[in-house]
Amino acid sequence: MRWKKRVIIPVISFLFIVIVCIWYVNDYYHTDENVQEYLQKKEPVSVTEMSDGLYLDGPGNNAAMIFYPGAKVEYTAYLPLLGDLAEQGIDCFLIKMPCNLAFFGQNKAEKIMDSYEYDHWYLSGHSLGGAMAAAYASEHLESFNGLVFLAAYPTKSLKSDSFSVLSLYGSEDGVLNMEKVEEGRAYMPVDYAEVCIEGGNHAQFGNYGEQKGDHAAKISWEEQQAQTVEAILNMMEAHKDQKQEEVMMTYEQISPQEAKKRMDKEADVIILDVRTQEEYDSGHIKNAVCLTNEDILSEPDILPDKDQQILVYCQSGNRSKQAAQKLADMGYENVLEFGGILDWPYPDLVE
């Protein structure tokens, strides 16, 4: 009898665990019936099935977003949200997670990025999907332009000068742990934005009905998702503008202290005062040459050498940046802008 107990008890325990696991993975939120009807309105967007989910191909071809669904949510519930985004020119990859748990598919973004070519990649996720997307992104920051949290937060650093993060959540969210959101701000990069959608809740980022523990939304799911798409597009546009500005700026900005060091050490440096002649006559840095910002393009003869080191300043720092950019655009390769004479801390060097 004892040997029977030793066999039967483990078998029963194993079967119990199997039954619980089967029940757990099959107890999930199902996609609303109106999703397919909604998608039929998205004529510019084609939805193609792939091994890891769905590919939403819209009119754009430059940027794409990989999306990780929330825990125990049927992945197709996010089709309306991503359909709207794809319609606006951001192609989307909606990932189907094993057992509807992004925890088991954290690295699925890698396969997508190896199989498709886009200039700009973004990663996003809802709830647990957002946390898993952040965990993957934290190890591959150089591969993405940014990350979008939908009612989620990170547990690892996302700090990078070239990485953007947007965090979105609803004011009526009853599921999201706001203390964790606050703690997660310490992991965010400089380019970070947080948006609370007034009247939105946790579940309406997808279309799967009410979620246990969530609060009732005060706006429709259409409105919540429309605001979400708008915020995402604004984030991407701001990041693009920032990158274009960085590419455009081919001069270097230095401090007044660094400028003085260069003046003391290098005899052939040109100090360029780009204020008006009247401002220059009222007091200027010793040995500076006056060439007004307005006259730079029409009087290049004063600066014959394109690799000459040029230190540029003005009154407050605005015109000097404009002048430095003009010089860089003209082909001058060693332009350094150091602000305005108002911030110059060496009065003995003013004449």
Active-site residue set: 314
CA angle 36, 170, 211 (to 5 degrees): 55
Q: How many CB atoms lie within 10 A of CB 124?
A: 29
Residue 101 CA to residue 44 CA, distance in Å, equals 30
Single-letter amino acid, residue 253: Q
* Residue 94, C-beta contacts closer than 8 angstroms, at least 6 positions apart: 53, 54, 55, 56, 67, 69, 75, 76, 78, 79, 82
Tell me the one-letter amino acid at 324.
A
Measuring CA to CA, which residue among 37, 144, 135, 128 is closest to residue 75? 128
- Residues shown for the chain: 351
Burial (CB count within 10 angstroms: exposed 0-12, middle 13-18, buried 19+), residue 69: buried
Measuring CA to CA, which residue among 292, 285, 283 is closest to residue 263? 285
- AA letter at 104: F
